[in-house]
Structure 1
Amino acid sequence: MSTTITARVATTSGRPLDGAVMTVMSQAGEQRAIVRADAEGMVRAADLEIGTYTVVVTAEGYQPTARVAVVSGPGSLSLGEIAAVRAGGAPVPAAGHYEIDPGHSIIEISVRHFGIATIKGRFADFTGSIDVADDVERSSVLAEIKTASIDTENQTRDDHLRSDAFFDAEQYPVAQFRAGQVRPATDETWSLTGTLTLRGSEVPVALEMTYLGTVDDPWGGRRAGFRATGTLKRDDFGISFDDKLLSGVAQIGSTATVTLDVQAVHTSN
């Protein structure tokens, strides 16, 4: 009878690390198994006899991680989740000025509706730039969003959101996000802190940001990808719409989640 050792390999933020390699060594230093993680980060080393093993997980760009596994009988032994720490800290793009490409970027906002579902909308009209400093913590971001460009795929709802009950797009046509503080959060994420100006209110906002890599595009440009998420409280911006159902549940949640998937083109050093 034999035992299977299993584990899930992920980054410190919980993203599955597919392609990671798990090597199982006996106390005598003999290699008993070597397996690669699947798309969910799962690794399985089968046909192991009773004994004590050293399990080493490796992945390109990450520090090796070791665990001890004691196999005492047949069946399956789970090592749980193994968090791989990126070597050298969170990655960053090359220093320089980047212009956000609106045609290949998304700014999405989502709120709870009736307490049982989520409504999502996107802003279709926005511009922005990212300045990556040699000292990355001195980098800055500036983005401007046309509030009237909200699109939830429902005209009646969109008109309501543009009204003075929500964005008041006629009086405040532009929302601005300006950030100048970047700090490492985990081995692959950054904390981006700035100010969001909406409906005339300036509110501190923190986003968790991940740099997704840099590629050469078909038009001769060099572009970087970023993903950022954060939570906003609508009361902070004077949006107090609070119609409730007879049960007391608010029609619209008091907080909104903002998600940005951004491509930015490197324009100068």
Structure 2
Amino acid sequence: MAQLTAGTWNLDNSHSEVNFIVRHAGISKVRGSFNTVSGTAVVGENFSDAKIDVTIDLASINTRDENRDGHLKSADFFDVENHPHMTFVSTEIKDVDGDEFTLVGDLQILGNTRQVELKGEFGGETVDPFGMTRAGFEAKGEISRKEFGLTWNAALETGGVLVGDKVKIEIDASFVLSSDDA
């Protein structure tokens, strides 16, 4: 992997996306995103020693359907009133091979914490026209929503359930090197 500059990197929410995909009625997929995400990556001498800490505002969920978004914010799903955030804290970066790696960390939803692994790719580091040092990453993975206490569902007349258990996660992240480290 090309060396990433050591220092504290701040997530650039306006140039990052946290998306998810889940099966609906067993026949199609619903795609959504979270519009408000914050976080840092603290990088030392080696990228594999980096510590990543991300917070997602669950009230910022967007599936392009206001009624569905409202239901997802309710106690049936994310219970945003009592659990406003989802968090991810890295515990390990392993299997670094070129620009690809595995990001391991603790994901917390509804107060339930589970270890997850995301397949990551380093997009590079550059200085933008405004003099800010940027780094880009992609990460993908899959979780079981039931493992986090997201168990609401409805049975279908034809068998099966309305909402699938497996949720695919796709992240495009842009980080900016802190001005203290630039």
Q: Could you state the TM-score of these two structures normalised by the residue count of structure 2? A: 0.94
Indicate if the aligned counterparts of 2:91 and 2:106 stay in contact, CA closer than 8 A. no
Deviation at 1:92?
A: 4.1
Residues 92 and 108 of structure 1: is their aligned pair in 2 closer, same or farther, counting only changes over 3 Å? farther
Equivalent in the alignment of 2:18: 107
Match of 2:32 among 121, 125, 145: 121
Aligned residues: 180
Equivalent in the alignment of 1:27: none
Deviation at 1:188?
A: 3.1
In percent, how many aligned pairs have the same letter?
30
Equivalent in the alignment of 1:175: 86
Partner SS, residue 137 of structure 1:
helix
Larger radius of gyration: 1
Higher relative contact order (CA 8 A, sep 6+): 2
Indicate if the aligned counterparts of 2:140 and 2:168 stay in contact, CA closer than 8 A. yes
Q: Give the letter aligned to residue 203 of structure 1.
A: R
Q: Which runs of 5+ in 2 are unaligned?
A: none
Match of 1:229 among 117, 123, 140: 140
User: Superposition pairs for residues 123-142 of structure 1, below 5 Å?
Assistant: 123-142=34-53
Q: Which runs of 5+ in 1 are unaligned?
A: 1-89
RMSD of aligned Cα (Å):
1.3
Partners of 2:85 and 2:63 lie apart in 1 by 18
Cα offsets for 1:15-51 (capped at 9, x unmatched): xxxxxxxxxxxxxxxxxxxxxxxxxxxxxxxxxxxxx
Equivalent in the alignment of 2:125: 214
Residues 247 and 186 of structure 1: is their aligned pair in 2 closer, same or farther, counting only changes over 3 Å? farther
Partners of 1:115 and 1:194 lie apart in 2 by 29
Residues 209 and 92 of structure 1: is their aligned pair in 2 closer, same or farther, counting only changes over 3 Å? farther
Partner SS, residue 247 of structure 1:
coil
Indicate if the aligned counterparts of 2:48 and 2:96 stay in contact, CA closer than 8 A. no
Partner SS, residue 113 of structure 2:
strand
Indicate if the aligned counterparts of 1:92 and 1:211 stay in contact, CA closer than 8 A. no
Q: Could you state the TM-score of these two structures normalised by the residue count of structure 1? A: 0.64
Q: Give the letter aligned to residue 121 of structure 2.
A: T
Indicate if the aligned counterparts of 1:93 and 1:211 stay in contact, CA closer than 8 A. no
Partners of 2:86 and 2:95 lie apart in 1 by 26
Which of 221-230 and 109-118 deviates more?
109-118
Aligned pair 1:148/2:59, yes or no? Answer: yes
* Runs of 4+ in structure 1 over 6 Å off: none
Partners of 1:131 and 1:97 lie apart in 2 by 4
Partners of 1:185 and 1:133 lie apart in 2 by 15
Partners of 1:252 and 1:214 lie apart in 2 by 39
